[in-house]
Amino acid sequence: MNDFGTRMMAIDRRILYALLLAIILFGLLVPINLPLTMADPAKNLFAAIEAAPVDKMAFVSTAWTNSTRGENAPQMAVLLRHLMQRKIKFALIQFGNPEAAVLAQLLAEDVTKEFDYKYGTDWINMGFRQDMLGTLKAMRVDIPAVYRDDFFERKPLSTFPITSGLKTIKDVGIVVEVAPSGTYKYWIQLIQGGDKVPYGLAATSVMVPELYPYLDSGQMVGMLFGLKGAAEYESLLNLPADKRQSTRFLSPLSLSLIYLFLLIFIGNLGMYLSRRRAEVNP
């Protein structure tokens, strides 16, 4: 038994990584229909978008980059699909990193083709702003003064049909943010708290512990947590199998986590046995 503990402590890390790669490939090639429990935050966000007025546009704020694309991109895609299923027009805005504007534009172009949404008429990208605090304050008074041109065509917003009636944030029916950072605090302080515009968040999994107080207080109408949240939303939307990108990725993710827990157990067992051996044979 002591020899077993020693062997466990001396496993070549290359073997461990090779096994992890094999598990991920298996999960991708042979998807496992794992049970998916619907969390209240996802159901509440779904209900909020269902209740959003169709005569007002939605703001989809993004701050994610390629570093969190694996979680945030599927979240944004499924949220856009829901907005378009309800025929709600939307505007993209970005904070945090200029890269977010390009990634949001590319993803939106891909998804809007499914619903024949026309740029400038049904959706628009209003672009990146560095000063988020100042921008949100100004949006409460005069949005056209802050966003003069769009991001994609570089034309005045006044030339697009979708923004013809957009004056202040009160003309927006709901705000949904897809972000891996603490930008949500500004939305809650200035927009949700000030003008009572419904606000929902799609966040990375590591942000979960700090966000529940805002959910419990009602300052967020709902939330998606990481890839699982996106998979839950895909199920709520009843998307066809070929559109359930997040659900497909849950298999390798879940198998990888099981493998990780097993390695932690084996590592601790090996350390325990090695210490026992040192105590018995000092």
| DSSP string over 198-225 | -EEEEE-GGGHHHHHHHHHTTSSSEEEE
Q: What type of residue is 92?
A: L
Q: Where are the domains of the chain?
A: 2-30+250-280, 40-243
* Contact status, residue 96 vs residue 104, Cβ threshold 8 Å: no
CATH number for the domain running over 40-243: 3.40.50
Partnered with residue 59 across adjacent β-strands are 91, 175
145-164 per-position pLDDT tens digit: 999 999 999 999 989 999 99
Looking at residue 16, what is its pLDDT?
Answer: 85
* Contact status, residue 36 vs residue 247, Cβ threshold 8 Å: yes
Structure tokens at 210: 């700090």
* CA–CA dist 84, 116 (Å, integer): 9
Looking at residue 245, what is its pLDDT?
Answer: 75
* Contact status, residue 68 vs residue 100, Cβ threshold 8 Å: no
* CA–CA dist 251, 19 (Å, integer): 16
15-64 per-position pLDDT tens digit: 888 888 888 888 777 777 767 778 899 999 999 999 999 999 999 999 99
* CA–CA dist 278, 122 (Å, integer): 71
pLDDT tier at 280, thresholds 50, 70, 90: low
Helix-then-strand count for the chain, H and E: 12, 6
